[in-house]
């Protein structure tokens, strides 16, 4: 035998030398939920070790992540029912605690990367990402609302705007609104390829943001489609996106790959709440071994082509890496 591939696997140092893919804490973006409730932290049943943090507590949480070398965060607001309305007006109001939290974090930790969520659902009494009229999700009428939300977040100091709503034309619309107000350095990470997925269930529990009626299939993509991902990514790239995200990640590794092959922009993957809950459930049963399964899962996303990964596992990974 001339070729014995096992020779290149004979010990850890050789395996490490020729590893084609790596995962570092720099690749990870940690999603955190914030509320304006008094309790320091409220557990989320379907997402073990994830909490809705109070405004005070989130600063401490971020401090502990920074100490582990984890410096990228994406924030999601859990909004009180009484602050929701049809037009998501609270999202860009001065009162919005989410904007205060962004400001407080950037004041205290100017070096961290802070990303937002832009969509109507956390603020919408209909629980949809866009404006609802007679059961229909209106596209063009939603855009000015998303733009106001984005400008308010930019004013608060956000580094990256994260439109997760899947309305057509929103990236360009938001880019123009940001530029008009002088926020030319505020980045956009577009949820370019976001599927209508059953894997978002635990996240909607975390924010009480499930649609009150209907589903999201008229704006989020059909899981059957891959070419359409190229179309969505192309439009967002043309409209000024700085990053292209694929969401969910694990069931869509082929989509991550095809985007990476076809675009020069950084590609990110969202390792979503259902993917997180699945692993935790199996580990709790004693059926899977937590650390190796998490590392293998995240590595598979990197191997598929993800430059960055949004993941609820980020802090655990940072802890493991600190020990090495």
Active site residues: 194, 247
Q: Does 272 bind ligand PBG (CB under 6 A)?
A: yes
- Please state the separation of Cα 91 from the chain's center in Å: 18
Q: Does 30 bind ligand PBG (CB under 6 A)?
A: no
Tell the smallest beta-carbon distance from residue 224 to ligand PBG (Å).
Answer: 18
Tell the smallest beta-carbon distance from residue 18 to ligand PBG (Å).
Answer: 34
Q: Does 74 bind ligand PBG (CB under 6 A)?
A: no
By rule CB under 6 A, what count of residues binds ligand PBG? 12
Closest to 89 (Cα-Cα) out of 25, 149, 21: 149
Tell the smallest beta-carbon distance from residue 310 to ligand PBG (Å).
Answer: 8
Burial class (CB in 10 A: 0-12, 13-18, 19+), 290: middle
**How far is 244 from 259, CA to CA, in rounded Å?**
8
Residues 199-218 that bind ligand PBG (CB under 6 A): 200, 203-204, 216
Task: Choose between 14 and 43: whose C-beta lies nearer to ligand PBG.
Answer: 43
Asked if 145 contacts 87 with a C-beta cutoff of 8 angstroms, the reply is yes
Task: Choose between 16 and 301: whose C-beta lies nearer to ligand PBG.
Answer: 301
Task: Choose between 36 and 121: whose C-beta lies nearer to ligand PBG.
Answer: 121
**How far is 72 from 290, CA to CA, in rounded Å?**
23
Tell the smallest beta-carbon distance from residue 47 to ligand PBG (Å).
Answer: 8
**How far is 76 from 56, CA to CA, in rounded Å?**
15
Binding mask 216-245 for ligand PBG (x = CB under 6 A): x-----------------------------
Helices (H), ranges, the chain: 12-17, 55-67, 97-108, 143-156, 170-180, 201-207, 227-238, 253-262, 273-284, 290-304, 314-323
DSSP state of 153: H
Residues 123-142 that bind ligand PBG (CB under 6 A): 129
* Residues forming the site for ligand PBG (CB under 6 A): 117, 119, 121, 129, 164-165, 200, 203-204, 216, 272-273
């Amino acid at each position: 035998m001339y070729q014995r591939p096992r020779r290149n696997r004979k010990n850890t140092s050789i395996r490490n030398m020729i590893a084609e893919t790596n995962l570092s804490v720099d690749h990870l973006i940690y999603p955190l939920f914030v509320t304006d409730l008094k309790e320091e932290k409220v557990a989320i049943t379907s997402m073990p070790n994830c909490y809705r943090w109070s405004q005070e507590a989130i600063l401490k949480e971020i401090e502990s992540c920074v100490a582990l070398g984890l410096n990228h965060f994406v924030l999601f607001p859990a909004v009180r029912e009484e602050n929701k309305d049809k037009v998501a007006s609270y999202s860009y109001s001065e009162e919005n605690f989410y904007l205060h939290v962004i400001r407080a974090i950037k004041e205290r930790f100017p070096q961290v990367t802070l990303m937002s969520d832009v969509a109507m659902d956390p603020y919408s009494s209909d629980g949809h990402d866009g404006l609802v009229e007679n059961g229909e999700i209106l596209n063009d009428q939603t855009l000015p609302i998303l733009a106001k939300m984005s400008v308010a977040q930019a004013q608060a100091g956000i580094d990256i705007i994260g439109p997760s709503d899947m309305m057509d034309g929103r990236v360009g619309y938001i880019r123009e609104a940001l530029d008009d107000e002088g926020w030319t350095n505020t980045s956009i990470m577009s949820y370019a390829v976001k599927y209508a997925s059953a894997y978002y269930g635990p996240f909607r529990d975390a924010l009480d943001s499930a649609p009150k009626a209907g589903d999201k299939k008229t704006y989020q993509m059909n899981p059957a489609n891959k070419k359409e991902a190229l179309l969505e990514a192309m439009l967002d790239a043309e409209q000024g996106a700085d990053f292209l995200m694929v969401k969910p990640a694990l069931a869509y590794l082929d989509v991550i790959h095809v985007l990476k092959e076809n675009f020069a922009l950084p590609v990110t993957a969202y390792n979503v709440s259902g993917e997180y809950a699945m692993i935790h459930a199996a580990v709790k049963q004693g059926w899977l071994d937590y650390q190796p399964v998490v590392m293998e899962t995240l590595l598979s996303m990197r191997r598929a082509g993800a430059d960055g990964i949004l993941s609820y596992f980020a802090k655990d990974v940072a802890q493991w890496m600190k020990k090495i």
